[in-house]
Structure 1
Amino acid sequence: MTNITYRTADVDGFEIFYREAGDPTKPTLLLLHGFPTSGHMFRDLIPLLADRFHLVAPDLPGFGRSALPSRDAFTYSFDQLAKVIDRFTEVIGLERFAIYIFDYGAPTGLRIAMAHPERVTAIITQNGNAYVEGLSDGWNPIERYWREPTDANRQALRKMLTEHSIRWQYEHGVADVMAISPDGIALDLHYLERPEADEVQLDLMLDYASNVALYPAFQAYFREHQPKLLAIWGKNDPFFLPPGAEAYRRDLPNADIRFLDTGHFALETHAGEIAAAIAGFLDK
C-alpha cells in the first residue's frame, strides 16, 4: 500500500495544496499538472512510482485545492504560476528534483528549470510543448484572442470551459472511452464552478502567448544545459501534436521520445506504461 499524504504549504501567504508520497531521501519527482485539472490527475501514477521515488504533486495557483485569490489581488500569468511553484519547492525543502511537465505544467516547469538549471535533474514531458511545431489548429481561437484581445474573442473561449468541451478533451483520441474515469472530469468541472475561476482561466489563455514567446529561450536552455529528457506523448492529442515531441531532438539529440496510442490526458489510459518508462528513464 502507498501512503499518500495531502498537505498545504504557506508560500509567502499563498496556500498551495499538494500530494506527497515516497521516501524523501530518494530522488524527487515534481509533478506539474495542466488545464483544467489538478494534482488529482496523478492519482494512478503516484502509487506506481512511490516505492522508488519521492513524489510531490502541487495544485497550481488557482487550480484544484490551492488558493484562488481574486484577480485584483493576484495576477494570473504563467510567470506568476512559476514564481509561486518555484518558491513552493524552496518552502518544502526540495533542493534537486526531476520534473514531470504536462500541458500548463510545461511552461511553468520550464521557467523553473531555466531559473535553476542546477536543481532540475531531468525532465519528463507528457504532452508538454516547447516548440511551435507542436501547436495544432485547436489553438486557433486562442491565438485569435492573443492577436485581438477583444471581449468578443474572450467570450468565444468560454465554450472551452463547458462540460462538453472538458469531456471531449479527455475522450478525444482514446480507443475506448469507457476507460476514462468520469471522476476526473467531474472534479475539474467542480473547481471551474468556483467564483471567478472562469475568468482566471480566460486570463491564462490570453497569457499563454507569453509561453510561445519563450519557446526560443526554452530551446536555448536545452542546448546549453542538455538536461536528460523523456518525451512520452499521447499521439492523438488534439492540442499538442507529435511533431512537438519530435522537435526536442533538435536541441537534445539524446532525448528519449515515445508515443502512446491515446489522447491528451495519457495518464487516464496509460499510467502503467508511463510509470514504467519513467522508472527506467530515471534509473539511468
Structure 2
Amino acid sequence: MEMTMNAVRHHTVRIDGLDIFYREAGDPDAPALVLLHGFPTSSVVYRDLLTDLADEFHLIAPDHPGFGLSSAPPADAWDYTFDHLADTVDALLEKLGVTRYALHVHDYGAPVGFRLALRHPERITGIVTQNGNAYEDGLTPFWKPLRDYWADRSTENREALRSTLTAEATHWQYTHGVPDTALVDPSQALYDQALLDRPGNQEIQLDLFLDYGTNPPRYAAWQHYLRTHRPPLLAVWGRGDEIFGPDGARAFARDLPDARIHLLDAGHFPFLTRRARSVALIRDFLRGLPD
C-alpha cells in the first residue's frame, strides 16, 4: 500500500454555519503545528511547508472565512473582524481535538494567533513568526493609508484602499524586497487575485483593513503574554519586507531575550523564496519544543 502519511490532505468541515477548508499533513500523533495565513492569500501558500515538514510534525492550515476555499458570506451577513476569525480557528481546533500546538503565523495570521495564545496560553508550545507582527516597530510607512482609515472611516478613505486589492498590488506583495524575483512563482498571485476578484470580496477585505486597526492597541497585551508565559519563539523574516519591516522581528527580543531571530534576504514571503533555509530553521526549532 502506498504510504500517504506525508501527503497533504484536504478537508472541509462545518463551523458555526460556515464551510471551513483546511489542509492537513503528517501523523496526527506527532507534535502539532497550526499554520495561519495572511492577506492576500490562503492556506495554499503553505503547500510546500506542509510537504517539507510532514515527516516529523502534524500540520493543520485552515483558510480563514472570506479566503481560499472557506465560505465567504457577504460582508453585510458576517462580521469580518480578527476576533471573529480567531473564533473560527479556535472552534476548528476544538472540533479536531487539537489542544496542544505550536503556531506558525504570517501577516494576518499573527493577530489571529496571538488572540488564540491569550485565550489558551497553556495550549501553545511555541511560536514561529514569519513576517507576523506584534510591535509598532514593525509597522512601516505602508500603513499610512490604513491608519488614515482607522482614524476616519470616511468613504473617501475606504475607497483609497481599493488599489491594494488590484492584481498589480497582489503581485507586488510577492516580489517586493526579493533579490531574485525569478524565484517568485507568478501563479500564486494569479490564484490569490482570482479569489479577491469574486463578487463582494473587496468589501470583505476592506472591512478587515478597517478592523486591523484593533490590533496595534493590543500589542501591549500580546507583549505581556510573551513576557509572562515565555513561549519559545522563532522569528524568520524577510529583511526586505516593506509591509512589516525587520525591526518588527528584532523587537521580539525585548520581551523574549531567548527568541531566535533570523533576517533573510527575502520580502514578505520568506518561506517561499527562501524555502530551504526557512524549513531548516523551523524544523530545528520545532524539534526543541516541549511535548
Deviations 1:225-276 (A, max 9, x none): 0011000000100011111111111111110000100100112211111111
Measure, in 1, the Cα distance between the counterparts of 2:228 and 2:95. 28
Say yes or no: does 1:41 pair with 2:42.
no
When normalised by structure 2's length, the TM-score is 0.96
Indicate the residue corresponding to 1:71 in structure 2.
Answer: 75
For 1:157 and 1:130, locate their aligned partners in 2 and report how far apart those are by CA, in whole Å.
23
State the shift of 1:73 in Å: 2.1
- Residue type at the aligned position of 2:25: A
Q: Report the secondary structure of 2:12's partner residue.
A: strand
In the alignment, which of 94, 97, 103 is matched to residue 101 of structure 2?
97
Question: 1 CA distance for matches of 2:18 and 2:53?
Answer: 29
Q: Secondary structure at the match of 2:215?
A: helix
TM superposition score normalised by structure 1:
0.98
Give the structure 2 partner of residue 181 of structure 1: 185
Letter in 2 for 1:115: R
Matched, 1:149 2:153: yes
Equivalent residue number for residue 128 of structure 1: 132
The whole-number CA distance in structure 2 between the counterparts of 1:190 and 1:156 is 21
Question: Alpha-carbon deviation of 1:10?
Answer: 1.1
Contact in 2 for aligned 1:41/1:267 (Cα 8 Å): no
Q: Helix, strand or coil: the match of 1:44? A: helix
Cα displacement string for residues 122-164 of structure 1 (whole angstroms, at most 9, x for unaligned residues): 0000000000010000001111111111000100000000011
Cα pair 2:237 2:264 within 8 Å, conserved? yes
Which position in structure 2 is the counterpart of 1:223?
227
Deviation string for 1:82-101 (max 9, x for gaps)? 11111111011111000000
Once residues 255 and 20 of structure 2 are traced to their aligned partners in structure 1, the CA distance between those partners, rounded to angstroms, is 33
- 8 A Cα contact 2:271 2:279, kept in partner: no
Whether contact under 8 Å (2:75, 2:207) holds in the other structure is: no
Structure 1 runs not aligned, ≥5 long: none
Which runs of 5 or more structure 2 residues have no equivalent in the other structure? none
| SS of corresponding position for 2:266 | coil
Residue pair 1:130, 1:219 contacting (<8 A) in 2 also? yes
SS in structure 2 at match of 1:103: coil
2:216 matched residue in structure 1? 212
Check conservation: 2:65, 2:85, Cα contact below 8 A.
yes
- The alignment-based identity, stated in percent, is 50
Aligned 8 A contact 2:9 2:25 in 1: yes
CA distances 1:150-208 after superposition (whole Å, capped 9, x unpaired): 00010000000001111111100111111100111011001101121100000000111
Residue aligning to 1:242: 246
1:200 counterpart letter in structure 2: I
Q: Detail structure 1 runs of 4+ shifted over 3 Å in the superposition.
A: none
**SS in structure 1 of the partner of residue 237 of structure 2:** strand
Aligned residue in 1 for 2:273 = 269
CA contact (8 A) 1:7 1:18 kept: yes
Residue aligned with 2:274, SS: helix
2:176 to 172, 175, 185: 172
Q: CA deviation at 1:12?
A: 2.4
Q: CA RMSD, aligned part only?
A: 0.9
Whole-Å separation in 2 of the counterparts to 1:50 and 1:179: 23
Match of 2:165 among 157, 161, 167: 161
Structure 1 residue 17: Cα displacement: 0.3
- Matches of 1:15 and 1:114, distance apart in 2: 26
Aligned length: 284
Do residues 29 (structure 1) and 33 (structure 2) align?
yes
Q: What secondary structure sits across from 1:230 in the alignment?
A: strand
Deviation at 1:27, TM superposition (A): 0.2
